[in-house]
Chains A and B, each alone.
Chain A
Amino acid sequence: MTDMNVLPPDRLSQRTRRQFLARVAAVGVGLSLSISVKPAAATPESMRNAIRNVIGEASVRKGKVKLELPALVESGNAVPVTVAVDSSMTASDYVKAVHVFNERNPQPNVVGVRLGPRAGRASLATRIRLADSQTVIAIAELSNGSFWSDSVEVIVTQPACLETL
């Protein structure tokens, strides 16, 4: 017979309660550790900083840009993106650059593209990675120095970037 079984019932319950509390504490420590070792993710704030780095202090208005992403994404590893800007693309009025940013990947930048008047149509497509459900923003710089933007909220069911091998 083991020691445990000869204990009166109240002592027994106390011991299991002690063990239970110890386990809860251990789980708690484990959780906080796993949170602290998570790689730093781009926050909306770091996205704002990244945008400021690219466009400076200029103000960004909504409109002219059409950013298209699927609203629900199954795999964040390759998400099709198209950015189209409403512009006549003439020598006097054209899109100089298009930048795409995200909120919650490890890094806020996605892609930066330079265009010119001879593009004829200010439209481009690519495929990007998304590490989480988040908002994606496209900003277009026009030849007159103004900035226009569009944003899309995306739900990602299977994220990219952070998986281990």
Chain B
Amino acid sequence: MARTLINVPAKARRGEIIEIKALIQHEMETGFRVSTTGNVIPRDIITDFVCKYNGEEIFRAELFPAISANPFFSFFTTATGSGTIIFEWSGDNGFFASVAAEIAVE
């Protein structure tokens, strides 16, 4: 599976607004580039990124070829309770990656 880098605070106070960062290794081939043989290199990108907090969707992004290689997102959410934050990426050629992070809320 593609390598990922997730940044979620391990602990938070209830109601605190926390920043979440997620990075995944991916070429994000645009489909607009031409190889040395003159053929267009087919598009191969991540098209969707979803983040779920204890099953509830908190962030969703639709990606286009204009997103850089190794897509990175940083966003905020309210720490509502202890549990699992799941990150899911899906894209061209059946690409799918999923990572989970734990958070303790007191």
Contacts and interface: CB of A to CB of B under 8 A. Distances in A.
A40 B76 CA distance: 37
A108 to B, nearest CB: 9
Interface string B44-67: 000000000100111111111111
A126 interface: yes
Contact of B65 (A125, A126, A129, A163): A129
A2 interface: no
Contacts of A120: 17, 76-78
B77 A161 contact: no
Interface in A88-125: 102, 105-107, 109-116, 118-125
Interface in A47-78: 77-78
Interface in A106-165: 106-107, 109-116, 118-130, 161-165
A123 B32 contact: no
A42 B80 CA distance: 42
B11 interface: no
Contacts of A124: 59, 73-76
Contacts of B56: 118
B72 interface: yes
Interface in A5-35: none
B33 A113 contact: no
A125 B74 contact: yes
Nearest to B74: A125
Contacts of A115: 59, 75
Given A106-B32, A118-B80, A112 B62 contact: yes
A1 to B, nearest CB: 45
B93 interface: no
Q: 8 tightest CB-CB pairs across the interface, nearest first?
A: A120-B17, A125-B74, A121-B76, A112-B62, A127-B68, A78-B68, A114-B60, A120-B78
Nearest to A121: B76
A128 B76 contact: no
B34 interface: yes
Given A120-B78, A163-B33, 13 more contacts: A102-B66, A107-B64, A110-B66, A110-B67, A114-B60, A115-B75, A119-B59, A124-B76, A126-B61, A128-B66, A164-B34, A165-B34, A165-B41
